[in-house]
Amino acid sequence: MQTHILGYPRIGSKRELKKACEQYWSGNILLEELLNTERNICNQNWNIQKEAGIDLIPCNDFSYYDQVLDMSLVVGAIPTRYHEVVLKKNNSELDLYFAMARGYQKDGLDITAMEMTKWFDTNYHYIVPEFYKNQQFKLSSDKIFNEFAGAKQAGINAKPVIIGLVSYLLLGKEKEEGFDKLDLAGNLLPVYTEILTKLQDQGAEWIQFDEPFLALDLTEKAKEAYLSVYAEIRKRFPKLKFIIATYFDGLKDNASLAVSLPVNTLHIDLVRNPEQLDDILNVIPESLSLSLGVIDGRNIWKNDYEKSLSFIRKAVEKLGSERIFIAPSCSLLHSPCDLDFETSLNPEIKNWLAFAKQKVAEVVILKELAAGTENEQVLEAFEENKKAIESRRTSSLIHNNQVKQRANAVTEKDAQRINTFKIRKEEQQEVLQLPLFPTTTIGSFPQTTEVRSWRAKFKKGELTAEQYDTLLKEETQRTIRWQEDIGIDVLVHWEFERNDMVEYFGEQLEGFVFTKNGWVQSYGSRCVKPPVIFGDVSRPTPMTVYWSQYAQSQTEKWVKGMLTGPVTILQWSFVRDDQPRSETCKQIALAIRDEVVDLEKAGIRIIQIDEPAIREGLPLRKTDWQNYLKWAVEAFRISASGVEDATQIHTHMCYSEFNDIIENIADMDADVITIECSRSQMELLNAFADFKYPNEIGPGVYDIHSPRVPSKEEMIELLRKAQNVIPASQLWVNPDCGLKTRHWDETEKALIAMVAAAKEVSVEYAL
């Protein structure tokens, strides 16, 4: 029996990677210092796993931005528009890499970033590979080999982790018509064989191929690609040992395909789909070992050892212990680094949790328990685990009967507006009096160092509540005036009082608890600190009314109330696993509904309920979609349906492919939806046009995930593209997303250009 980890968090226990990357981007540190940060994080991660007793430790799981972009660089899938970047003086391979992720606007160049989207159903993002007909690939980076050499030098029994060839192609997008990206497998395979040859020459024994698409619906062509690719790899490398890692769902109808691949070990996710164990044990050949993903790599709850042991013992009974690997369900990338840093959590709740470092220890303890160890320390850990599991099951902190009763009493009427959109639109236009192509922003604006320092001082008690309130009011007044001056139609109050769009609400809701250092990577240097939903959720008092009402009092224009929707709060939190997610979501929806109603009473006539995570939460298998979409759409409608027709409800979604679920998006019945569209050059609007989406749409014209500032002409061109597919009477003009992560200088320039673009297009339309 062996233990292994599929991947470990790479941000550093104190977010060292975030800080180093941002300092490098701003020119405050040199490349060597950034590379030193990488070396330190890798060595720390390897040593944590080595000291815990893990048998196979991953390498090449470190990334400066994301592992898919890493692979694009390694195999030379570098779009031609970036080739000039490497010709500029002093630019390194990393500068090219960051240009692909973030865009490049200096040295006389103005290059847009590559498209970014969600990593399956997580809140992690990846840069989408771009593929062209007959595209050629070549080994273009030594990253994989350098990291393996570093691990080997550190005395680590390292297992390089590589995105499998088929999954890599499936993660990408065809950028021209007339071919299937899987047609490129033959061109890409020689680069993979070159990688494996070099790793074998370096002394690698085990290679982990991540093939998460094996847990998704596959075409016959994809299945054939799996068979041919791995047959060729095995033929060329008969002595290398390969692990194929699947995760985020069960193999289901792909089980026979997966077990037939000529590899040494198959990893399955028994957290997401425990039922698949019996299916796999019934078809697994004698040549194949099985890796059991029994520790939840995506959530923070302590493992139930007794439950996991039941899986392990069943597998051992069938296969023998020598063919069993014990592991987390997926990479620990999605878990915070170390629970030991949480010194102020409620001790009872802390005893229910495990972060990445603790999950590593759980893997080793399970191996010892499964092997029948008599080690006193291990047996003591087992007893403590039983007590923690029982404590959580029976704790009075978790259950609130009033909340449960209210959720159970929800009816179909609670999820319906009074009248249809057609009637609502007339009432809203009469009240709001908005122009054609109205301009707005998504909500947040750059939070300066000064504003962040005020919040920190307030939390430390260095500013009184009155002093803090005065400072934020002054800043809100200033920003309201600025929006008026540049001509934005629907204003926002800029959310100076808020930290994170989920954390801010969770801090004011019952049933949530917060960590100090529970950071996880979202993309690049962007880290989030998800709340922990441990119990029944309710809203004891209004959350946003004070600041929304104050902002509205400062202007004759309309100011949007800004809320995070129930599905997004659910998706971007660590959610309790002792009841269905749908039930928790309904509880959150009722809490948001109360806030929406109070905002309307306070005179706020436009209320935005952000739901960027609706698409992200979609199950990976289409057969499971409708059940999820039913309760997710219902949750949004519950949150939005307590207001009068004249109150305009907005929602926002980003980085979503809408084609398959456009009918469900329409069922949400938001008066206005704003979406990310700039990186895809308005391509996402086609789904709305084909469906003849009836409500209003704000396609983003400014990519806020890149530091480059688009020109007015660029935005006008995007708006013209939008007009080609969506009636002008339905169009709003806005950025792709909130602007919190941007700097003020670029934000000001971009929004001034955006307003000018909207006015020019409006004049053109009038003519």
Question: Catalytic amino acids?
Answer: 705
CA 182 to chain centre: 26
Instruction: Give, as one character, the DSSP assignment of residue 11.
Output: S
Burial class (CB in 10 A: 0-12, 13-18, 19+), 9: buried
Are 64 and 94 within 8 A, CB to CB? yes
Nearest to 738 by CA among 540, 536, 493, 534: 493
Burial class (CB in 10 A: 0-12, 13-18, 19+), 435: exposed
Measured CA to CA, the distance from residue 428 to residue 648 in angstroms comes to 6
Tokens of 277: 């164990």
The neighbouring-strand residues paired with 490 are 440, 558
What is the number of residues in the chain?
Answer: 767
Measured CA to CA, the distance from residue 764 to residue 758 in angstroms comes to 10
CA 33 to chain centre: 28
Measured CA to CA, the distance from residue 97 to residue 323 in angstroms comes to 40
- Name residues whose C-beta falls within 8 Å of residue 611's C-beta, 6 or more positions apart in sequence: 565, 567, 568, 636, 651, 652, 653, 668
Tokens of 581: 């997610």
At residue 171's C-alpha, the angle toward residues 169 and 176, to 5°, is: 70
Are 78 and 70 within 8 A, CB to CB? no
H or E element at residue 314 = helix 305-319
CB atoms under 10 Å from CB of 740, counted, come to 19
Strand-strand pairing, 158-163 and 57-59: parallel
Measured CA to CA, the distance from residue 489 to residue 695 in angstroms comes to 19
Nearest to 673 by CA among 656, 683, 486: 656
